[in-house]
Structure 1
Amino acid sequence: MKKLFFALAILITHFSSEAQVKTPQASPRANVFQTVGLTDVEVNYSRPGAKGRPVFGNLVPFGKLWRTGANENTTVSFSDDVIIDGKTLKKGKYALYTVPRIESWDVIFYTTTDNWGLPQEFNEANVALRTTVKEEALSKPVESLTINIASLDANFAYLEIYWENSYVALKFEVPTQKTAIANIEKVLAGPTAADYNSAAQFIFQSNGDLTKALGYINKALDMSVEKPFWFNRLKSLILAKQGDKKAAIEAAKLSLEAAEAAKNQDYVKMNKDSIAEWSKK
């Protein structure tokens, strides 16, 4: 009987630890991801519902800072610097706060994003950008808060906020032309030293053509002013695999010298061990 009670206790404990009651969230999470030109924009927020309540001027007071959602911070992130109202907002992730009014809203991008709702103490030093947008009345009420990226163009888009009978749209400009030209120039300029190193690394690790791998790593070294220790380390391994231990030791010594200057003890040890091994007759 004791064994039976013991087994039942274990079973109940197991189910208690495994079982989790799942219920719908009052303000479910939502995610919006949109590429504008060549810039990735992402919005994460919770969507409260009106549920028969008057929203603006009541649930959300006019003239006061609002978290623009529910629960944890609503966040907006940009993969590139963007222009808003003639001002630059650096790439990164921001909490989105607003101050709703009857005819206009203040929109605030705040650098601290780990608050639950509003910050305990609002710090102007954390305001990356603040601007004002016009509020427009909707003819049909929106039940759940909705944030969207719309009116897409290669060079701009609008961050839109809808709820109840209110709508605001914030235009942001993205650096598509600058990014595209920079990418074109990089591609047309040909492979970089890092590209040649990556190619040599792949061929070496996949037991490919070592002569080709050696040619690639030599190009990487020729193109590099700094001669990184990991470049010469790879060259030494390729040479050793080809059977040229003398040349491998010379490359390893160059890698060792650079690794010591950089205080990278892992590469210092690897090079010393390899030199000792390849020096054996």
Structure 2
Amino acid sequence: MKRIIIAALSLMTLMGVNEAYAQEEPARSPNFAKLDASPMDLVLYRNQDNQPVARIIYSRPQKRDREIFGKLVPYGEIWRTGANEATELTLYQDMKVADATINAGNYTLYTIPKEKEWTIILNKKTHTWGAYEYSEEEDVVRINVPVRETSNTIEALSMAFERAEDGSGANLLIGWDDRYVKVPFKTVK
């Protein structure tokens, strides 16, 4: 009888231990950040030999039924050309923009949108948030390019490289809402 009581008590103790383990809090998932409202993206241009020539890193704000140019992005004011950090351009080789030769390296790409044309600016100061630290003294080149209309609405700010028709380099396309611009980058020979 004594053995039965000891066995029963042992069994109850084991059941209590197992029950205690079963009641522990479940493992928690890591606290990852939610998707950014303006997610970061990267655009890379490679030459015909598949070598990298230029890279753009930028954040992609969304239209969300807002009036973009002239309202959210004011005309005539410096713009980081995206959201969050200012847009970064890396050139892996010397390139020509307008009449200026731009050395391989890292730059910030700013724009000044206007109704009919945008001023595209490559600036030496990098790793900046927004356009708050922009300084005209750090500009490497400025070029004015015409605004073009799109046939469809571009919901998120978008950038892409296209090979120049004459094979002399690439055009950087920057589009959002109902318009886009082409920025010519020519290979230095």
Per the normalisation by structure 1, the TM-score is 0.54
Kindly indicate whether the alpha-carbon contact (under 8 Å) linking 2:44 and 2:52 is maintained by their aligned counterparts in 1: no
Matching residue of 1:43: 56
Matching residue of 1:147: 159
Which whole-Å CA distance do the structure 2 matches of 1:146 and 1:87 have between them? 25
Offset of 1:152 from its aligned partner? 4.2
Which whole-Å CA distance do the structure 2 matches of 1:134 and 1:45 have between them? 22
Write 1 or 2 for the structure with the bigger share of helix.
Answer: 1
Offset of 1:136 from its aligned partner? 1.0
Unpaired stretches in structure 2, ≥5 consecutive residues: 1-16
Offset of 1:52 from its aligned partner? 0.4
Which whole-Å CA distance do the structure 2 matches of 1:98 and 1:124 have between them? 12
Write 1 or 2 for the structure with the bigger share of strand.
Answer: 2
Q: Does 1:137 align with 2:158?
A: no
Which whole-Å CA distance do the structure 1 matches of 2:94 and 2:44 have between them? 17
Offset of 1:39 from its aligned partner? 5.2
Matching residue of 1:29: 40
Which whole-Å CA distance do the structure 2 matches of 1:22 and 1:78 have between them? 31
Q: Which has the higher contact order (CA 8 A, sep 6+)?
A: 2
Offset of 1:27 from its aligned partner? 0.5
Q: Does 1:64 align with 2:77?
A: yes
% same residue: 30
Q: Does 1:118 align with 2:131?
A: yes
> What secondary structure, in the 3-state scheme, does the structure 2 residue paired with 1:95 have?
strand
Superposition CA RMSD, Å: 2.2
Q: Does 1:168 align with 2:181?
A: yes
Deviations 1:159-192 (A, max 9, x none): 11000011100111013xx4xxxxxxxxxxxxxx
Q: Output the amino acid matched with 1:131.
A: I
Q: Output the amino acid matched with 2:40.
A: R
